[in-house]
Amino acid sequence: MNRIKQILISSTSQQATNPKLYTNFEITSSRKLLPSDDNLYMLDINQQFNTERQASTFYRILGTINPIATNALFNITGTQNCWEIFSTPLFTSSGYDNNNAPYTFVQSIQNNLKEIDGWFGYFNPILTSATLCTYFDMEPKRERFSFIPDITNLDQNGFPIKNWGLTVTYPYSADTTHPMINNGLLIIDSNSVIVGGKNMTALSVPVNHNLNVGDSIILTGTNIDGTYDIKRLGLDDGSLQQNYFCLDLNIASLSIGASSRMIKLYNNIPSQYYFRLFKAIQTSESSALGPYDYDVYKLGFSESIFTDDIIQYIFNKDIDVNNLVDNLGRPLSQLYLSLIKTDSNGIFSNLSSGIETSFIPTLNNGNTLTYLKNIPVIQKIHNVISAPSESFTPLESSITINNNDFYGDVVEYNMMTLQEVSLSDVCHRFNTINRETTSDTVVSGPRPEGYYYKAHKLMTIRVFSSYIEQGDSSTVGIPNYATNLGDGTYIWRSLLDIGQTDVKYGVANYPFLNGCHYFYQNNCFNIRRQDPFDNWNLYFYGFPSDPLGDPMPNSFKLNQVNNVC
């Protein structure tokens, strides 16, 4: 509004009087009152919120990682913190035996090597030192496993080394040609079992078979191929129910080999088996997610029960799932947090991938049954040529955060159920270069056993309905990913709205703010030894041998036997 100013005559002379003044002006406003007629529109805030929520394709990914790690497999030789250091005078002179003689190498190890919360190391042996109670980790020390950049290990520019790379991936393609899953799951073993007082045969596969009693399967590549019903799961003692399944066959008449396969049937429709391939997702800026598009930091005042630091991560670029589809051409319902171990500035070996399997003794026969080495058993993969057990063939070698894609998991899919069932997750394996390449006159080597971990953590952002819908060419609203049965009939599962509950599969529900979905997840992260109990022929018995695991026995044993009557 403009102000109108008028100078009064009385202000110019004491004798002057002010005449009456008249000024024409128009009262206008840039705002209007709400109309009171029937055209008034009432906005439903909840409905508008839900509309914007369902339409948004942007995700902000953040969460925590609770690691559990150990350095039980420490280096053989080096300038410090290795097996060899206990043979030096610094440790052998730190004590005397009953004959008043300095410690031998064995006595030095027994008296100086300590383990605290899974971390092996030693206390300063110099009794007069100011750091007498200081505990030193063996190499690789805990800083080499930390998700926080290692300030004790600097690059050529003086920056702390990153031990891990993080990225967000999604399943975009599939490998159907791998020898383990091509034309069905590879059968690796047969055992004679007794089911209901009758002799039968138990067959095994290296991954979860996803079978139940009464299911039907197809056997191929054997001398008695055909369709059979599952009579029981597991062996006679109730073990390995996820790997073994029992058929009404005479084991003496059965022959299996490199081409023997098992295929599950749903309503006489065979399942498909394949490896899903993951790749890094794009950001809201329409670029691929890079290795520096996230921050990690220690979560305040937080550590695990084994005193390992709990860290928090946040991707500082929004993830955009717009127009992205999975390996089946469906809208994305799953994302994965992928964790890639680096070599920590030349400390660790190349990263390889494979699948974790239950201990099936037949898998140790790879030296004679060479086709078994095509199974990427993560516990059997190593880089030492002279090891007693030859390495199995990994899915990938020399993995880095910059790879275009990654193997994610083994999946079973059937067009009658329209569901992917993950049978085994892909793991990554690494070791220290020192352990795999070093041999010494004092400490023997090289040593093939290393570490492995689950590489991809599932994040469910959407849920498909548990109901299968059906229609034909006249049906309205058939999604473009619907399956054509070949007779003009289409079947599909609808993608539920965010926050909508399904009777069987739960709900995908997370905060929505400022046009972006905030997906938060806590992740337990285990870094495990390949062969702590000497099951896989990787344990090294040379002197001094690595710490041998002490399995915890069950307080009771429960053998579950399925009733086949």
- pLDDT score recorded for residue 32: 74
Q: Is 210 exposed, middle or buried (0-12, 13-18, 19+ CB in 10 A)?
A: middle
How many CB atoms sit inside 10 A of residue 468's CB? Answer: 15
pLDDT score recorded for residue 308: 87
Measured from the Cβ of residue 74, the count of other Cβ atoms closer than 10 Å reads 24
Give me the residue spans of the domains in the chain: 83-137, 185-272
Q: Which structure tokens are listed for 201?
A: 């045969």
Q: Which residue has the tokens 């079992």?
A: 193
Rounded CA-CA distance 102/104 in Å is 6
Q: Are strands 516-526 and 58-68 parallel, antiparallel or unpaired?
A: parallel
Q: Which amino acid is at 127?
A: L
Cα 536 to Cα 72, 366, 469, 497, 531: the distances in Å are 17, 11, 47, 46, 6
Geometric angle at alpha carbon 480, from 479 and 485, rounded to 5°: 90
**HSE (CB half, 13 Å, CA atoms) of 25?**
9
Measuring CA to CA, which residue among 490, 494, 491, 510 is closest to residue 502? 494
At 450 the pLDDT is 97
Q: Are 245 and 217 in contact (CB under 8 A)?
A: yes
Half-sphere CA count of 437, side-chain side, radius 13 A: 10
The residues facing 190 across adjacent strands are 203
Torsion (CA) 432, 437, 443, 447 in degrees, nearest 10 = 60
pLDDT of residue 560: 53
Q: Which residues pair with 197 in a beta bridge?
A: none
Ordered per-residue pLDDT tens for the chain, 565 residues: 566 677 777 677 767 777 777 777 677 777 777 666 666 667 888 999 999 999 999 999 999 999 999 999 999 998 779 999 999 888 888 666 666 788 889 999 998 999 999 999 999 887 666 666 889 999 999 999 999 999 999 989 899 999 999 999 999 999 999 999 999 999 999 999 999 999 999 999 999 999 999 999 999 999 999 999 999 999 999 999 999 999 999 999 999 999 999 999 999 999 999 999 999 998 877 777 777 789 999 988 888 888 888 999 999 999 999 999 999 999 999 999 999 999 999 999 999 999 999 999 999 998 889 999 999 999 999 999 988 889 999 999 999 999 989 999 999 999 999 999 999 999 999 999 999 998 888 899 899 999 999 999 999 999 999 999 999 988 998 999 999 988 889 999 999 999 988 877 788 999 999 999 999 999 999 999 999 999 999 999 889 999 988 776 665 555 555 555 4
Q: Please give the pLDDT value at position 17.
A: 74
What is the pLDDT, as a whole number, of residue 565?
A: 44
Total Cβ atoms within 10 A of residue 505 = 15
State the CB neighbour count (10 A cutoff) for residue 509.
11
DSSP-based three-state secondary structure for 538: coil
Q: Which residues, listed in sequence order, are joined to residue 272 by a DSSP beta bridge?
A: 413
pLDDT of res. 163: 96
Asked if 339 contacts 401 with a C-beta cutoff of 8 angstroms, the reply is no
Inter-residue contact 335 to 59 (CB < 8 Å): yes
